[in-house]
Structure 1
Amino acid sequence: MLPDYEIKKAPSIGKQIDAVIFFVWMLLLIQFCLFLLFPQGEEVEGIRFRLIANSNTIEDQQVKNNVKHHIEPILLKYENNPQETYNELEQVVNKLSNKLDTTITITKGEAIFPPKVLNQGISSQLMTESIVISIGNARGDNWWCALFPKVCYKEEVEKEKPKFWVWEWLKKKFST
């Protein structure tokens, strides 16, 4: 008499394919979560600049754009001589405050930069070395940039879109 042995069947091909698909989906999910938690390309070195409008009315936004137009050429010189450029910014802000008959203040130091929605994801709120110009109550939309590298000027920098390595691997695997 032979002992009873349980005969096990090999897993079917369908179950193996399901396992591979599940594995690939899990890799994509992990990469997506990492991408959301650690957005690429947002953090920049150097000082940041922020110009905050009095309010979101059309008139106040026009005042903000007028101030931006006057200070943008000065900001281009910031990297070469920060203190002299900051002094020049103060002078221009004081002149504009008198000319536009509104309170415009400039401060330099640590400031909170609010979270922003960018192409790469959401940047976190952070304290950073900054120059902040506030117009009136400073309750409107703002214009901000990082001065190193110069991302706030008219020059467009072509950015490479983020790639998911699993997706790229799958495309390469099945394209042949």
Structure 2
Amino acid sequence: MEKRRNLIMAALAVMISLMLTACVWRTETVSAKVEKTQEHMAEEVLRFHVLANSDSKEDQNLKMKVKDTVVSWMEEEMDTKSLAQTKAFIRSHLPQIEALAEETIQKEGYSYPVWASLEWTVFPEKTYGDITFPAGTYEALRIQIGEAKGHNWWCVLYPSLCFIDSVHAVVPEKGKKQLEHVLTEEEYEMVTATSKFKIKWFFFGS
């Protein structure tokens, strides 16, 4: 009886060991796929990042005023058809974008300095509407207000994924179609599913 019990315990230990090994292998495989997807997305998108001076209500409201001014201006002035064109437009208009932000800040009664730049920046995992961007390094138009230590606002300039309706967080279908075009079918399915990005990759990755 004891011998049989020992055999059962040994078999269970082997099964648990095999399951743990499979989980570790799958996690490593999924992690590699997430990293590959992030790197691919970083080659195809340009993000927009506005950093508030602080997390005070006033500074957060100011951040949104600056965002509204710059986004409205870009909607009128920027007519680009590709990622390269979008980057070129931003680079050539950085002084104007910075001036618009500074003018808005002064109109609201503040004297914070402001900087506009196009640079590579590390982002945490972010969900925007129904699209999840994995954590990693992306190029972005960054507007930093004052000490730039407050919560930030972000969207995607190319493809154009900035919210049409900020209340209901609906991203433009045209921008989603552009993103779908540059990603593989599997990548697009992963980043547009409703569950968490890492969980999606765990269940769909193989």
Where does 1:151-170 land on structure 2 (aligned, <5 Å)? 151-154=161-164, 155-156=170-171, 159-160=192-193, 161=195, 162-164=200-202
Aligned to 1:23: 18
Where does 1:138-153 land on structure 2 (aligned, <5 Å)? 138-153=148-163
User: How far, CA to CA, are the matches of 2:54 and 2:22 in structure 1?
Assistant: 45
Which amino acid is 1:145 matched to?
C
In structure 2, the CA distance between the partners of 1:52 and 1:147, relative to structure 1 (3 Å rule), is: same
TM-score (norm 2): 0.55
Query: Given the alignment of the two structures, is residue 61 of structure 1 paired with residue 60 of structure 2, yes or no?
Result: yes
**Matched residues, percent identical?**
20
Contact 2:48–2:154, Cα closer than 8 Å, also in 1? yes
Aligned to 2:50: 51
Which amino acid is 1:28 matched to?
C
Aligned to 1:110: 119
Structure with the larger helix share:
2
User: How far, CA to CA, are the matches of 1:78 and 1:27 in structure 2?
Assistant: 50
Which amino acid is 1:35 matched to?
V
Give SS of 2:25's match: helix
Which amino acid is 2:118 matched to?
G
Give SS of 1:147's match: strand
Cα shift readout 1:109-159 (whole Å, capped 9, x = no counterpart)? 334x234144679613x3x54322111221211122332233443434681
Where does 1:28-107 land on structure 2 (aligned, <5 Å)? 28-36=23-31, 38-39=33-34, 41-42=37-38, 43-44=41-42, 45-76=44-75, 77=78, 79-80=80-81, 82=86, 87=93, 89-100=97-108, 101-107=110-116
User: How far, CA to CA, are the matches of 2:24 and 2:74 in structure 1?
Assistant: 42
Aligned-residue CA RMSD in angstroms?
3.8
User: How far, CA to CA, are the matches of 1:107 and 1:62 in structure 2?
Assistant: 19
Runs of 4+ in 1 over 6 A off after TM superposition: 12-18, 119-122
Aligned to 2:188: none
Which amino acid is 1:103 matched to?
Y
User: How far, CA to CA, are the matches of 1:78 and 1:23 in structure 2?
Assistant: 56
Structure 2, unaligned runs of 5 or more: 1-6, 165-169, 177-190
Aligned to 2:167: none
Q: Which deviates more from structure 2 when the two are superposed, residues 144-153 or residues 134-143?
A: 144-153
Which amino acid is 2:28 matched to?
C
